[in-house]
Amino acid sequence: MSPDPDYHYGYRLGVHLIIDLPNRKIAGNDVDRDGQVDPKLTELLTKMVN
């Protein structure tokens, strides 16, 4: 459960991927921690998927 009561999904960690299906690549991503984008984790995931 998220410590933020206004964050309705309640996940501690989430990943949002934007997938370019025709070109078969990840076009973008965000990593959320407790309902907020985590820039360091987002950067790490970007490096991992590209």
Encode pLDDT of 17-41 as tens digits: 999 999 999 999 999 998 789 999 9
- Residue 3 inside a domain? The answer is no
pLDDT at position 10 over 80: no
Average confidence score pLDDT of the chain: 87
- Residue 2 inside a domain? The answer is no
pLDDT for 3: 61
Q: What is the pTM of this model?
A: 0.75
- Residue 19 inside a domain? The answer is yes
**CA gap 1, 3 in Å, rounded:** 6
Q: Which residue range is the domain that position 34 belongs to?
A: 13-49
Higher-confidence residue: 2 or 31?
Answer: 31
**CA gap 25, 18 in Å, rounded:** 9
- Residue 17 inside a domain? The answer is yes
The mean pLDDT of 10-18, rounded to a whole number, is 88
**CA gap 50, 45 in Å, rounded:** 9
| SS3 state at 22 | coil
Total number of domains constituting the chain: 1
Largest CA distance in the chain: 39
